[in-house]
Structure 1
Amino acid sequence: MTLTIESIRRYPVKSMGGEALERVPITSRGLEGDRGWAVVDADGKFASGKNSTRMRRYDAVFDFTARTGSDGEVLVAPHADASAERAAGDPALNATLSDAFGTAVSLEQESYVTLPGNFFDEGAISLVGTATLEWAERELGATTAARRLRANLVVSTSEPFEEETWLGRRVRIGEVEVVVEKPIPRCRMVDLAQDGVAEPAKFLKGLAATREMRLAMYCRPKLLGSIRVGDRVEVR
Protein backbone atom coordinates (compact mmCIF):
# COMPACT_ATOMS: atom_id res chain seq x y z
CA MET A 1 0.00 0.00 0.00
CA THR A 2 1.30 3.45 -0.91
CA LEU A 3 1.28 5.69 2.14
CA THR A 4 0.11 9.27 1.69
CA ILE A 5 -0.80 12.30 3.79
CA GLU A 6 -4.56 12.22 4.22
CA SER A 7 -4.95 15.43 6.21
CA ILE A 8 -3.02 18.23 7.90
CA ARG A 9 -4.22 20.15 10.94
CA ARG A 10 -2.63 23.09 12.72
CA TYR A 11 -3.44 24.64 16.09
CA PRO A 12 -2.40 28.32 16.10
CA VAL A 13 -3.32 28.65 19.80
CA LYS A 14 -2.49 25.89 22.23
CA SER A 15 -5.54 23.83 23.28
CA MET A 16 -7.99 25.79 21.15
CA GLY A 17 -9.66 24.36 18.06
CA GLY A 18 -7.53 24.30 14.94
CA GLU A 19 -7.60 24.59 11.16
CA ALA A 20 -7.39 22.13 8.27
CA LEU A 21 -4.64 22.86 5.74
CA GLU A 22 -3.80 21.67 2.25
CA ARG A 23 -0.15 22.69 2.59
CA VAL A 24 2.12 23.78 5.43
CA PRO A 25 5.81 24.71 5.69
CA ILE A 26 7.83 22.66 8.18
CA THR A 27 10.42 24.56 10.23
CA SER A 28 12.90 23.29 12.80
CA ARG A 29 10.19 23.94 15.39
CA GLY A 30 7.46 21.93 13.62
CA LEU A 31 4.49 23.06 11.51
CA GLU A 32 4.89 26.75 10.82
CA GLY A 33 2.56 28.64 13.16
CA ASP A 34 1.53 25.57 15.17
CA ARG A 35 0.92 26.46 18.82
CA GLY A 36 2.72 29.75 18.38
CA TRP A 37 0.31 31.38 20.85
CA ALA A 38 -1.24 30.40 24.17
CA VAL A 39 -3.62 31.85 26.72
CA VAL A 40 -1.46 32.90 29.67
CA ASP A 41 -2.62 33.71 33.21
CA ALA A 42 -1.22 36.14 35.80
CA ASP A 43 1.28 33.52 37.00
CA GLY A 44 2.67 33.03 33.52
CA LYS A 45 1.17 29.56 33.14
CA PHE A 46 -0.58 28.74 29.92
CA ALA A 47 -4.02 27.27 29.49
CA SER A 48 -4.36 23.55 28.87
CA GLY A 49 -6.52 20.61 29.86
CA LYS A 50 -4.15 19.61 32.66
CA ASN A 51 -1.91 21.00 35.39
CA SER A 52 1.88 20.86 35.22
CA THR A 53 4.86 23.05 36.04
CA ARG A 54 4.16 25.11 32.90
CA MET A 55 0.42 24.59 32.35
CA ARG A 56 -2.77 25.23 34.27
CA ARG A 57 -6.09 23.55 33.66
CA TYR A 58 -8.62 25.94 32.16
CA ASP A 59 -11.35 24.02 30.37
CA ALA A 60 -12.75 27.29 28.99
CA VAL A 61 -9.94 27.26 26.42
CA PHE A 62 -11.73 24.45 24.58
CA ASP A 63 -14.67 26.75 23.89
CA PHE A 64 -12.57 28.74 21.40
CA THR A 65 -11.10 28.08 17.98
CA ALA A 66 -8.22 29.73 16.15
CA ARG A 67 -7.26 30.13 12.52
CA THR A 68 -4.62 31.93 10.49
CA GLY A 69 -5.77 34.75 8.24
CA SER A 70 -4.48 35.37 4.73
CA ASP A 71 -1.97 37.89 6.09
CA GLY A 72 -0.68 35.46 8.74
CA GLU A 73 -2.66 37.09 11.54
CA VAL A 74 -4.06 34.68 14.15
CA LEU A 75 -7.83 35.04 14.61
CA VAL A 76 -9.76 33.66 17.58
CA ALA A 77 -13.50 33.15 18.08
CA PRO A 78 -15.81 31.23 20.41
CA HIS A 79 -17.04 28.01 18.82
CA ALA A 80 -20.57 29.23 19.42
CA ASP A 81 -20.16 32.63 17.73
CA ALA A 82 -17.84 32.98 14.73
CA SER A 83 -18.99 36.60 14.32
CA ALA A 84 -17.15 37.44 17.54
CA GLU A 85 -13.77 36.66 15.93
CA ARG A 86 -10.93 38.93 17.06
CA ALA A 87 -7.24 39.14 16.18
CA ALA A 88 -4.47 38.16 18.54
CA GLY A 89 -3.26 41.32 20.22
CA ASP A 90 -6.70 42.94 20.29
CA PRO A 91 -7.47 44.08 23.89
CA ALA A 92 -11.12 43.15 23.28
CA LEU A 93 -10.06 39.53 22.74
CA ASN A 94 -8.17 39.45 26.03
CA ALA A 95 -11.25 40.86 27.76
CA THR A 96 -13.43 38.15 26.18
CA LEU A 97 -11.01 35.43 27.23
CA SER A 98 -10.70 36.79 30.77
CA ASP A 99 -14.47 36.85 31.11
CA ALA A 100 -14.76 33.25 29.87
CA PHE A 101 -11.91 32.03 32.09
CA GLY A 102 -13.11 33.88 35.20
CA THR A 103 -9.64 35.36 35.77
CA ALA A 104 -7.27 37.77 34.08
CA VAL A 105 -5.61 36.12 31.06
CA SER A 106 -4.08 37.27 27.82
CA LEU A 107 -3.15 35.71 24.49
CA GLU A 108 0.63 35.71 24.16
CA GLN A 109 3.20 34.55 21.67
CA GLU A 110 5.71 31.92 22.76
CA SER A 111 8.59 34.42 22.72
CA TYR A 112 6.95 36.53 25.43
CA VAL A 113 6.45 33.76 27.99
CA THR A 114 9.11 33.44 30.67
CA LEU A 115 8.63 29.76 31.54
CA PRO A 116 11.24 27.47 29.95
CA GLY A 117 10.44 25.39 26.88
CA ASN A 118 7.72 26.03 24.33
CA PHE A 119 3.98 25.60 23.93
CA PHE A 120 4.28 21.96 22.87
CA ASP A 121 3.75 19.19 25.40
CA GLU A 122 6.59 16.81 24.52
CA GLY A 123 7.02 16.77 20.74
CA ALA A 124 6.90 19.03 17.71
CA ILE A 125 4.76 17.10 15.19
CA SER A 126 2.10 14.49 15.95
CA LEU A 127 1.31 11.77 13.43
CA VAL A 128 -1.28 8.99 13.37
CA GLY A 129 -2.38 6.37 10.82
CA THR A 130 -5.87 6.02 9.39
CA ALA A 131 -6.01 2.35 10.45
CA THR A 132 -5.28 3.39 14.05
CA LEU A 133 -8.10 5.93 13.94
CA GLU A 134 -10.46 3.30 12.55
CA TRP A 135 -9.45 0.95 15.38
CA ALA A 136 -10.11 3.65 17.98
CA GLU A 137 -13.56 4.35 16.59
CA ARG A 138 -14.42 0.66 16.17
CA GLU A 139 -13.00 -0.74 19.42
CA LEU A 140 -13.32 2.20 21.79
CA GLY A 141 -16.22 4.12 20.31
CA ALA A 142 -13.95 7.14 19.94
CA THR A 143 -15.80 9.05 17.23
CA THR A 144 -13.85 11.87 15.57
CA ALA A 145 -10.67 10.31 16.99
CA ALA A 146 -8.31 12.44 14.88
CA ARG A 147 -9.76 15.64 16.39
CA ARG A 148 -9.64 14.23 19.91
CA LEU A 149 -5.99 13.23 19.44
CA ARG A 150 -5.22 16.66 17.95
CA ALA A 151 -3.07 15.02 15.31
CA ASN A 152 -1.09 17.29 12.98
CA LEU A 153 -0.65 14.66 10.27
CA VAL A 154 -2.92 11.75 9.35
CA VAL A 155 -1.24 9.12 7.15
CA SER A 156 -3.06 6.44 5.17
CA THR A 157 -2.14 3.06 6.69
CA SER A 158 -3.41 -0.49 6.34
CA GLU A 159 -2.77 -1.83 9.88
CA PRO A 160 -3.59 -0.34 13.30
CA PHE A 161 -0.51 1.04 15.08
CA GLU A 162 1.60 0.67 11.94
CA GLU A 163 3.15 4.05 12.70
CA GLU A 164 4.55 2.66 15.97
CA THR A 165 6.81 0.35 13.95
CA TRP A 166 8.49 3.46 12.56
CA LEU A 167 9.96 4.37 15.96
CA GLY A 168 13.51 5.68 15.51
CA ARG A 169 13.25 5.66 11.73
CA ARG A 170 13.33 8.48 9.20
CA VAL A 171 10.14 9.19 7.31
CA ARG A 172 10.17 11.13 4.05
CA ILE A 173 7.04 13.17 3.36
CA GLY A 174 7.27 14.90 0.01
CA GLU A 175 10.30 17.18 0.35
CA VAL A 176 10.36 16.91 4.16
CA GLU A 177 11.96 14.32 6.39
CA VAL A 178 11.10 13.65 10.04
CA VAL A 179 12.39 11.24 12.68
CA VAL A 180 9.75 9.28 14.60
CA GLU A 181 10.69 9.75 18.26
CA LYS A 182 8.14 8.29 20.68
CA PRO A 183 4.51 7.31 21.34
CA ILE A 184 2.29 10.07 22.67
CA PRO A 185 0.97 9.70 26.24
CA ARG A 186 -2.66 10.73 26.53
CA CYS A 187 -4.59 12.62 29.20
CA ARG A 188 -8.17 13.68 29.92
CA MET A 189 -8.17 16.01 26.91
CA VAL A 190 -9.11 13.15 24.56
CA ASP A 191 -12.46 12.86 26.37
CA LEU A 192 -13.39 16.53 26.18
CA ALA A 193 -15.65 18.30 23.73
CA GLN A 194 -13.14 20.28 21.65
CA ASP A 195 -12.01 21.38 18.20
CA GLY A 196 -15.52 21.23 16.77
CA VAL A 197 -16.36 17.93 18.51
CA ALA A 198 -19.52 18.76 20.41
CA GLU A 199 -19.87 15.75 22.68
CA PRO A 200 -17.56 14.41 25.42
CA ALA A 201 -16.40 10.79 25.22
CA LYS A 202 -14.93 7.99 27.34
CA PHE A 203 -11.87 7.50 25.16
CA LEU A 204 -9.19 7.61 27.86
CA LYS A 205 -10.55 4.67 29.85
CA GLY A 206 -10.30 2.43 26.79
CA LEU A 207 -6.78 3.65 26.06
CA ALA A 208 -5.76 2.91 29.64
CA ALA A 209 -7.10 -0.63 29.41
CA THR A 210 -5.61 -1.47 26.01
CA ARG A 211 -2.81 0.92 25.09
CA GLU A 212 -1.22 2.14 28.35
CA MET A 213 -2.80 5.50 27.49
CA ARG A 214 -0.59 5.94 24.41
CA LEU A 215 -1.71 6.55 20.85
CA ALA A 216 -0.08 8.27 17.82
CA MET A 217 3.57 9.29 17.53
CA TYR A 218 5.72 12.37 18.03
CA CYS A 219 8.12 13.28 15.22
CA ARG A 220 11.05 15.66 15.00
CA PRO A 221 11.80 17.63 11.81
CA LYS A 222 15.08 16.67 10.14
CA LEU A 223 14.86 17.96 6.56
CA LEU A 224 12.77 21.10 6.14
CA GLY A 225 10.38 22.13 3.37
CA SER A 226 6.62 21.91 2.87
CA ILE A 227 4.11 19.10 3.36
CA ARG A 228 0.99 18.83 1.23
CA VAL A 229 -2.14 16.69 1.43
CA GLY A 230 -1.56 13.78 -0.93
CA ASP A 231 2.23 13.74 -0.47
CA ARG A 232 3.77 10.29 -0.56
CA VAL A 233 5.12 8.96 2.75
CA GLU A 234 8.22 6.75 2.66
CA VAL A 235 9.58 5.01 5.74
CA ARG A 236 13.36 4.55 5.65
Structure 2
Amino acid sequence: MNRVLGVRRHPLKSAAAEHVAAAFVGKHGLDGDRTWTCLDADGTIGSAKQPRLWQTLLAVRAEFATDTGDVHITVPGREPAAAGSPEADDAVSAWLGRPVTLTRKPPTELKRHHWWPDEPGMIPDWARDKEPGGDDVVAARHDAEGGRFFDYGAIHLVTTGALERLSARHGSQVDPARFRPNLILDLPADPEPGQRIAIGADTVLEVAIPTPRCVIPSLAHGDAPADRALLKTLAAHRRVDVPAFGRATCFGFYAEVRAVGAVAVGDTVTVSG
Protein backbone atom coordinates (compact mmCIF):
# COMPACT_ATOMS: atom_id res chain seq x y z
CA MET A 1 0.00 0.00 0.00
CA ASN A 2 1.32 3.44 -0.97
CA ARG A 3 1.83 5.87 1.90
CA VAL A 4 3.16 9.27 2.92
CA LEU A 5 6.78 8.88 4.03
CA GLY A 6 7.56 12.49 4.95
CA VAL A 7 5.81 15.79 5.71
CA ARG A 8 7.93 18.95 5.57
CA ARG A 9 7.25 22.64 5.65
CA HIS A 10 9.43 25.71 5.20
CA PRO A 11 8.06 28.60 7.29
CA LEU A 12 10.91 30.85 6.10
CA LYS A 13 11.60 30.75 2.37
CA SER A 14 14.99 29.13 1.59
CA ALA A 15 15.59 28.16 5.24
CA ALA A 16 15.90 24.52 6.35
CA ALA A 17 12.83 22.30 6.22
CA GLU A 18 10.82 21.59 9.35
CA HIS A 19 10.12 17.84 9.55
CA VAL A 20 6.71 17.21 11.11
CA ALA A 21 4.59 14.13 11.75
CA ALA A 22 1.42 15.77 10.47
CA ALA A 23 0.10 19.06 9.07
CA PHE A 24 -3.13 20.55 7.81
CA VAL A 25 -3.33 21.20 4.08
CA GLY A 26 -5.52 24.17 3.31
CA LYS A 27 -6.30 25.52 -0.15
CA HIS A 28 -3.02 27.48 -0.09
CA GLY A 29 -0.83 24.56 1.02
CA LEU A 30 0.53 23.31 4.32
CA ASP A 31 -0.30 25.57 7.24
CA GLY A 32 2.69 27.81 7.93
CA ASP A 33 4.57 26.93 4.75
CA ARG A 34 6.64 29.73 3.15
CA THR A 35 4.82 32.51 5.00
CA TRP A 36 8.00 34.48 5.78
CA THR A 37 10.87 35.66 3.63
CA CYS A 38 14.06 37.70 4.00
CA LEU A 39 14.05 41.19 2.51
CA ASP A 40 17.47 42.40 1.39
CA ALA A 41 18.69 45.99 1.35
CA ASP A 42 18.24 46.18 -2.44
CA GLY A 43 14.53 45.32 -2.10
CA THR A 44 14.82 41.73 -3.36
CA ILE A 45 13.66 38.73 -1.35
CA GLY A 46 15.86 35.86 -0.22
CA SER A 47 16.25 32.76 -2.38
CA ALA A 48 19.05 30.20 -2.48
CA LYS A 49 18.58 30.20 -6.25
CA GLN A 50 21.38 32.76 -5.95
CA PRO A 51 23.75 30.82 -3.67
CA ARG A 52 26.38 33.57 -3.52
CA LEU A 53 23.92 35.60 -1.48
CA TRP A 54 21.68 33.06 0.20
CA GLN A 55 23.04 29.51 0.41
CA THR A 56 23.89 29.82 4.13
CA LEU A 57 20.21 30.50 4.81
CA LEU A 58 19.67 26.78 4.16
CA ALA A 59 21.25 26.14 7.59
CA VAL A 60 18.79 28.40 9.45
CA ARG A 61 15.85 26.61 11.08
CA ALA A 62 12.29 27.94 11.20
CA GLU A 63 9.50 26.33 13.23
CA PHE A 64 5.79 27.05 12.92
CA ALA A 65 3.64 26.93 16.06
CA THR A 66 0.29 25.44 15.04
CA ASP A 67 -1.50 26.80 18.11
CA THR A 68 -0.46 30.45 17.72
CA GLY A 69 0.74 30.75 14.12
CA ASP A 70 4.05 32.16 15.33
CA VAL A 71 7.31 31.25 13.61
CA HIS A 72 10.56 30.94 15.56
CA ILE A 73 13.92 31.29 13.85
CA THR A 74 17.07 29.52 15.01
CA VAL A 75 20.45 30.54 13.59
CA PRO A 76 23.34 28.15 14.35
CA GLY A 77 24.89 29.11 17.68
CA ARG A 78 22.02 31.42 18.64
CA GLU A 79 18.89 31.14 20.77
CA PRO A 80 15.53 30.95 18.94
CA ALA A 81 13.84 34.28 18.23
CA ALA A 82 10.39 35.14 16.94
CA ALA A 83 10.16 35.99 13.25
CA GLY A 84 9.42 39.69 12.94
CA SER A 85 11.43 40.60 16.03
CA PRO A 86 14.65 42.68 16.03
CA GLU A 87 16.39 39.67 17.60
CA ALA A 88 15.54 37.42 14.65
CA ASP A 89 16.56 40.09 12.13
CA ASP A 90 19.86 40.63 13.93
CA ALA A 91 20.63 36.90 14.14
CA VAL A 92 19.90 36.19 10.47
CA SER A 93 21.75 39.34 9.37
CA ALA A 94 24.84 38.34 11.35
CA TRP A 95 24.69 34.83 9.89
CA LEU A 96 24.42 36.11 6.31
CA GLY A 97 26.96 38.88 6.83
CA ARG A 98 24.70 41.77 5.72
CA PRO A 99 21.54 43.45 7.00
CA VAL A 100 18.24 41.77 6.12
CA THR A 101 14.71 41.97 7.50
CA LEU A 102 12.31 39.06 7.96
CA THR A 103 8.87 39.92 6.64
CA ARG A 104 5.46 38.47 5.81
CA LYS A 105 4.61 41.41 3.55
CA PRO A 106 5.96 41.40 -0.01
CA PRO A 107 7.56 44.58 -1.34
CA THR A 108 5.60 46.50 -3.97
CA GLU A 109 7.88 45.15 -6.71
CA LEU A 110 8.57 41.51 -5.83
CA LYS A 111 11.93 40.36 -7.22
CA ARG A 112 14.75 37.99 -6.35
CA HIS A 113 18.28 37.25 -7.52
CA HIS A 114 18.79 34.15 -9.68
CA TRP A 115 21.98 32.41 -10.72
CA TRP A 116 21.68 30.50 -14.01
CA PRO A 117 23.64 27.22 -13.69
CA ASP A 118 26.46 26.74 -16.19
CA GLU A 119 25.87 22.98 -16.43
CA PRO A 120 24.59 22.28 -19.98
CA GLY A 121 20.87 21.54 -19.99
CA MET A 122 20.04 23.37 -16.77
CA ILE A 123 18.56 26.46 -18.41
CA PRO A 124 14.89 25.95 -19.40
CA ASP A 125 13.51 26.75 -22.84
CA TRP A 126 11.70 29.86 -21.58
CA ALA A 127 15.04 31.34 -20.42
CA ARG A 128 17.18 30.28 -23.39
CA ASP A 129 18.42 33.85 -23.81
CA LYS A 130 20.04 33.78 -20.34
CA GLU A 131 23.78 33.44 -19.97
CA PRO A 132 24.99 30.24 -18.25
CA GLY A 133 26.76 31.23 -15.05
CA GLY A 134 25.12 34.64 -15.13
CA ASP A 135 23.40 36.51 -12.32
CA ASP A 136 19.97 37.96 -12.92
CA VAL A 137 17.17 39.72 -11.06
CA VAL A 138 13.82 38.14 -11.88
CA ALA A 139 10.21 38.54 -10.85
CA ALA A 140 9.18 36.52 -7.80
CA ARG A 141 5.77 35.14 -6.90
CA HIS A 142 3.52 35.73 -3.92
CA ASP A 143 0.12 34.20 -3.24
CA ALA A 144 -1.53 37.32 -1.89
CA GLU A 145 -4.71 35.59 -0.73
CA GLY A 146 -2.82 32.89 1.15
CA GLY A 147 0.17 35.03 2.14
CA ARG A 148 2.70 32.56 0.70
CA PHE A 149 6.03 33.10 -1.04
CA PHE A 150 5.64 30.21 -3.48
CA ASP A 151 7.63 29.72 -6.67
CA TYR A 152 4.66 28.06 -8.37
CA GLY A 153 2.22 25.52 -6.89
CA ALA A 154 0.73 25.26 -3.42
CA ILE A 155 2.31 21.85 -2.74
CA HIS A 156 5.60 20.36 -3.91
CA LEU A 157 6.05 16.57 -3.90
CA VAL A 158 8.62 13.89 -4.72
CA THR A 159 8.18 10.13 -5.01
CA THR A 160 10.37 7.25 -3.88
CA GLY A 161 10.34 5.69 -7.34
CA ALA A 162 11.75 8.80 -9.00
CA LEU A 163 14.33 9.18 -6.21
CA GLU A 164 15.47 5.57 -6.60
CA ARG A 165 15.97 5.93 -10.36
CA LEU A 166 17.80 9.22 -9.97
CA SER A 167 20.06 7.73 -7.28
CA ALA A 168 20.90 4.76 -9.51
CA ARG A 169 21.88 7.08 -12.38
CA HIS A 170 23.85 9.34 -10.06
CA GLY A 171 25.76 6.47 -8.49
CA SER A 172 24.85 7.41 -4.90
CA GLN A 173 21.76 7.91 -2.78
CA VAL A 174 20.14 11.31 -3.40
CA ASP A 175 18.62 12.87 -0.29
CA PRO A 176 15.09 14.20 -0.94
CA ALA A 177 16.00 17.25 1.19
CA ARG A 178 17.85 18.59 -1.86
CA PHE A 179 14.50 19.18 -3.60
CA ARG A 180 12.72 20.83 -0.65
CA PRO A 181 9.42 18.95 -0.98
CA ASN A 182 6.37 19.30 1.22
CA LEU A 183 5.46 15.63 0.87
CA ILE A 184 7.48 12.50 0.14
CA LEU A 185 5.22 9.81 -1.30
CA ASP A 186 5.94 6.10 -1.53
CA LEU A 187 4.93 5.75 -5.18
CA PRO A 188 6.66 3.87 -8.00
CA ALA A 189 6.67 6.95 -10.26
CA ASP A 190 5.51 10.55 -10.41
CA PRO A 191 1.83 10.94 -11.38
CA GLU A 192 1.06 12.80 -14.60
CA PRO A 193 -0.35 16.36 -14.81
CA GLY A 194 -4.11 16.25 -14.28
CA GLN A 195 -4.06 13.13 -12.14
CA ARG A 196 -5.41 13.33 -8.61
CA ILE A 197 -3.77 12.15 -5.41
CA ALA A 198 -6.02 11.25 -2.46
CA ILE A 199 -4.20 11.31 0.88
CA GLY A 200 -5.74 9.95 4.05
CA ALA A 201 -9.43 10.52 4.66
CA ASP A 202 -9.95 13.97 3.14
CA THR A 203 -7.05 15.57 1.27
CA VAL A 204 -7.07 15.58 -2.54
CA LEU A 205 -4.33 17.12 -4.69
CA GLU A 206 -4.21 17.56 -8.47
CA VAL A 207 -0.85 17.34 -10.25
CA ALA A 208 -0.01 20.58 -12.08
CA ILE A 209 3.45 20.46 -13.68
CA PRO A 210 6.88 18.89 -13.15
CA THR A 211 9.14 21.10 -11.01
CA PRO A 212 11.91 22.88 -12.96
CA ARG A 213 15.21 22.69 -11.11
CA CYS A 214 17.83 25.34 -10.40
CA VAL A 215 21.17 25.20 -8.58
CA ILE A 216 19.59 24.47 -5.16
CA PRO A 217 19.71 20.62 -5.34
CA SER A 218 23.50 20.78 -5.66
CA LEU A 219 23.98 22.86 -2.50
CA ALA A 220 24.59 21.53 1.01
CA HIS A 221 21.39 20.68 2.90
CA GLY A 222 21.94 19.64 6.50
CA ASP A 223 23.71 16.28 6.43
CA ALA A 224 23.71 16.23 2.61
CA PRO A 225 26.96 17.89 1.43
CA ALA A 226 27.30 20.01 -1.67
CA ASP A 227 27.18 17.88 -4.83
CA ARG A 228 27.68 19.88 -8.01
CA ALA A 229 27.72 16.67 -10.10
CA LEU A 230 24.02 16.18 -9.33
CA LEU A 231 23.17 18.95 -11.81
CA LYS A 232 24.86 16.96 -14.57
CA THR A 233 22.84 13.86 -13.67
CA LEU A 234 19.60 15.82 -13.59
CA ALA A 235 20.29 17.52 -16.93
CA ALA A 236 21.20 14.21 -18.57
CA HIS A 237 18.19 12.21 -17.36
CA ARG A 238 15.44 14.56 -16.22
CA ARG A 239 14.90 17.06 -19.06
CA VAL A 240 11.19 16.88 -19.89
CA ASP A 241 8.32 18.87 -21.40
CA VAL A 242 6.61 21.20 -18.96
CA PRO A 243 3.03 21.77 -20.20
CA ALA A 244 2.49 25.32 -21.51
CA PHE A 245 6.13 26.28 -20.83
CA GLY A 246 8.59 24.14 -22.83
CA ARG A 247 11.42 21.79 -21.96
CA ALA A 248 13.30 22.03 -18.69
CA THR A 249 15.33 19.90 -16.32
CA CYS A 250 12.82 18.84 -13.68
CA PHE A 251 12.46 16.72 -10.58
CA GLY A 252 9.37 16.32 -8.43
CA PHE A 253 6.11 18.04 -9.23
CA TYR A 254 3.78 20.81 -8.12
CA ALA A 255 0.18 20.14 -7.17
CA GLU A 256 -2.88 22.22 -6.38
CA VAL A 257 -5.24 21.49 -3.49
CA ARG A 258 -8.68 20.23 -4.53
CA ALA A 259 -9.90 19.11 -1.11
CA VAL A 260 -8.41 20.27 2.18
CA GLY A 261 -7.56 18.04 5.12
CA ALA A 262 -4.88 16.76 7.45
CA VAL A 263 -1.94 14.75 6.15
CA ALA A 264 0.36 12.62 8.27
CA VAL A 265 3.27 10.30 7.89
CA GLY A 266 1.81 6.85 7.22
CA ASP A 267 -1.35 8.07 5.51
CA THR A 268 -2.49 6.04 2.51
CA VAL A 269 -1.98 7.52 -0.96
CA THR A 270 -4.15 6.73 -4.00
CA VAL A 271 -3.60 8.08 -7.53
CA SER A 272 -6.47 8.32 -10.01
CA GLY A 273 -7.43 9.96 -13.28
- Shorter chain as denominator, the TM-score bin is 0.7 to 0.9
> Is residue 48–residue 56 contact of structure 1 (8 Å, CA) maintained in 2?
no
Partner SS state of residue 38, structure 2: strand
Counterpart AA for 2:253: M
Percent identity among equivalent residues?
Answer: 33
SS at match of 1:43: coil
| 1:203 is the counterpart of 2:230 | yes
Shift of 1:112: 4.6
Alignment correspondent of 1:227: 263
Partner of 2:211: 184
CA contact (8 A) 1:19 1:66 kept: yes
**Is 1:172 the equivalent of 2:198?**
yes
What SS is found at the alignment partner of 1:133? helix
Q: Is the aligned partner of 1:147 residue 2:194?
A: no
Structure 2 distance, partners of 1:113, 1:220, is 25
Q: Which letter does structure 2 place at the counterpart of 1:75? A: H
Q: Distance in 2 between matches of 1:215 and 1:112?
A: 28
1:27 matched residue in structure 2: 26
Deviation at 1:129, TM superposition (A): 1.0
After TM superposition, give the deviation of residue 166 of structure 1 in Å.
2.7
How far apart, in 1, do the equivalents of 2:2 and 2:224 lie? 31
Partner of 2:61: 65
Q: Which residue of 1 aligns with 2:158?
A: 128
Structure 2 stretches lacking a partner, 5+ long: 111-140, 143-148, 240-248
**Do the aligned residues in 1 keep the contact of 2:175 with 2:224 (CA within 8 Å)?**
no
Aligned partner of 1:217 among 243, 247, 253: 253
Distance 1:142 1:88, change over 3 A: farther
Q: Is the 8 A contact 1:46 1:56 kept in 2?
A: no
The Cα of 1:135 is off from its aligned counterpart by: 2.1
Question: Counterparts of 1:88 and 1:149 in 2: how far apart (Å)?
Answer: 24
* Structure 1 alignment gaps of length 5 or more: none
2:108 paired with 1:114:
yes
Runs of 4+ in 1 over 3 A off after TM superposition: 69-72, 141-144
- Comparing 62-71 with 10-19, greater Cα deviation is found at 62-71
Q: When the two structures are superposed, what TM-score results if normalisation uses the length of structure 1?
A: 0.87
Deviation at 1:173, TM superposition (A): 1.1
How many residue pairs match? The answer is 224
Q: Residue 47 of structure 2 aligns with which residue?
A: 48
Structure with the largest fraction of helix: 1
Distance 1:149 1:198 in 2: 11
Q: Distance in 1 between matches of 2:26 and 2:61?
A: 23
RMSD of aligned alpha carbons:
2.1
